[in-house]
Chain A
Amino acid sequence: MYHTEIRSKTQVITIGRDLAAVLIGERINPTGKKKFGQALLARDYDAIRREALAQVEQGADVLDVNVGVAGVDEVKVLPEVVKIVAETVDVPLCIDSASPEALAAALKVYEGKALVNSVTGEEKSLERVLPVVKEYGAAVVGLCMDETGIPNDPEKRLAIAKKIVERAEKAGIARSNIVIDCLTMTVSSDPMAATVTLRTVERVAEELKTNIILGISNVSFGLPDRHSLTKTMLAMALRAGLTCVIMDPMAEGMRRTVKAADLLLGRDEWAMNYLAEYRQYSEQS
């Protein structure tokens, strides 16, 4: 069992199997949000400040920062946005881009120890992202996919995770700084999709003992009442070994589900977090 520490200038967040699950707010991301994308293109960052503040207010422990949208030069914009978010809120950041150059540019300006999202099992990704992670002393998310795509088999996903861990360790990145993303696929196109993800979480937890992350809401893509499905998946994944989750902290009941699962899994002594969540929620309504 490993602890992954990430830090801002003033806060330390620790991810671990024996600790409360860490909530990573996903809302600073232009995918599918037209206005947000337009604001990024115009370099109007007010919306980003608002999203940052609102998510932290709603219980996000870490914020994911992604600026990937058509027409945006990520190498320029990602560091700018990382700076702005870091100035706006105290929580540590998860810096999210598929471009190694953009990741390097953002890590350079970030004061703290970020979680880099992400490296894959693809050779060109391993070769280019791992040295950047090592150089800046960051932690990294490893996605269970490679040149052949995303395998539909837990053992094959585990094999990719193993490869990423081996290559990262070889590059001088400690296993405590690796978080494996077992990948959530939607059940709307494959009824076995969620079970493959859950089994992969179990296998990675058993074999590699790294921390495990999922972007959980994808499970319900294409279906109505997404909250019910996503919350249920979240509870099952936490039982299987999930230790941090990328999600919308504003989505109704999601945060409550995490707190409930933590209590049920014996990592919320005297139900302090659950009760704090309950009181905060009650005051709001």
Chain B
Amino acid sequence: MAVLEDLKNAIITYKPAKAKEYTLQALAEGYEPPQILSEGLIGGMTVIGDKFKRNQIYVPEVLIAAKATHAGLDVLKPLLSERKTKPIGKVIVGTVKDDLHDIGKNLVAMMLEGAGFEVINLGVNVDPDKFIAAIKEYEPDIVGMSSLITSTLHWLEDTIKAIQEVGLRDKVKVMVGGAPVTEEWALQIGADGYGKDATSAVEAARKLVGAA
């Protein structure tokens, strides 16, 4: 177990190179990829998420910790897909049409991956048709949408409506977030979940797939 503890610590202390090294070492020592993922990588990211929520650490630290998690994840991904290890859920994320903000959305994407979700990141300026095409292609459990400016807020509502119109609304859960979005508004426009920051977005996603 020592190596998994080392891996977890590499993430908590922001060391991507070490995270990769310990992931390889754990494999060499015969640990199974799912255990390395949950106890090492997700274990580390859980600590980071918790510290971020308590304002003990800040955005650059979360980003570098996420980078460390990814360094390990890159090693494990091919092995996990060989073994068909099931992620706890599949999420597509994107920033809505006409909106080019991506820091917060990417932070959520990385935290979700760190928490064991499979994430498909559609990028920024994603129009409703693109969300719908991605729902058809990837059949996700959750669609996560972000809007950072008031002039694009209506696209959250419009995209949900568009998903409804093509008859896919009951196939997916919808989560929304972004600075001008409030929980009340999220419910009002018919979203299933809302996260005021990346950590609460992950908690909301876990709840929606019944993993919380």
Contacts and interface: CB of A to CB of B under 8 A. Distances in A.
Interface in A186-202: 186, 188-189
B121 to A, nearest CB: 16
A222 B59 contact: yes
Contacts of B150: 31, 68-70, 74, 98
Among A71, A74, A150, max chain B CB count under 10 A is at: A71
A189 B182 contact: no
16 contacts: A31-B150, A32-B179, A34-B182, A68-B150, A70-B150, A70-B153, A70-B180, A74-B150, A97-B151, A98-B151, A186-B103, A188-B63, A222-B58, A223-B60, A224-B55, A224-B58
B59 A186 contact: yes
A224 B55 CA distance: 9
A32 B177 CA distance: 12
A16 interface: no
Contact of A68 (B124, B180, B185): B180
Nearest to B148: A31
Contacts of A150: 100
Interface string B167-197: 0000000000001111001001000000000
Among B58, B179, B181, max chain A CB count under 10 A is at: B58
A58 interface: no
A68 B179 CA distance: 11
Interface residues of A, number: 23
Interface on chain A toward B: helix, strand, loop, or mixed SS? Answer: loop
A37 interface: yes
B149 interface: yes
B190 to A, nearest CB: 13
For the complex of A and B, 8 pairs with smallest distance between CB atoms: A222-B59, A68-B150, A98-B151, A188-B59, A70-B185, A149-B100, A189-B103, A188-B60
Among A69, A70, A98, max chain B CB count under 10 A is at: A70
B180 A98 contact: no
A22 interface: no
A102 to B, nearest CB: 9
A130 B108 CA distance: 37
A146 to B, nearest CB: 10
A136 interface: no
A68 B188 CA distance: 17
Nearest to A189: B103
B181 A99 contact: no
Interface string A210-234: 0000000000011110000000000
B106 to A, nearest CB: 9
Contacts of B180: 30-31, 68-70
Interface string B131-159: 00000000000000000011101000000
Nearest to B107: A189
A189 B60 CA distance: 6
Interface string B54-75: 0100111001000000000000
Interface string A90-115: 00000001110000000000000000
Contacts of B153: 70
A145 interface: yes
A98 B100 CA distance: 14
A188 B61 CA distance: 9
B60 A222 contact: yes
Given A32-B179, A70-B182, A186-B103, A149 B58 contact: no
A98 B151 CA distance: 6
B151 A188 contact: no
Contacts of B151: 68, 97-99
A31 B179 contact: yes
Interface string A140-181: 000001000110000000000000000000000000000000
A182 B188 CA distance: 36
Contacts of B63: 188-189
Contacts of B58: 188, 222-224
Nearest to B154: A70
A149 B149 CA distance: 13
Contacts of A98: 149-151
Contacts of A222: 58-60
Given A31-B179, A150-B100, A189-B63, 19 more contacts: A32-B179, A34-B182, A37-B182, A68-B149, A68-B180, A69-B150, A69-B180, A69-B182, A70-B185, A74-B150, A97-B151, A98-B151, A99-B151, A145-B100, A186-B59, A188-B60, A189-B59, A222-B59, A223-B60
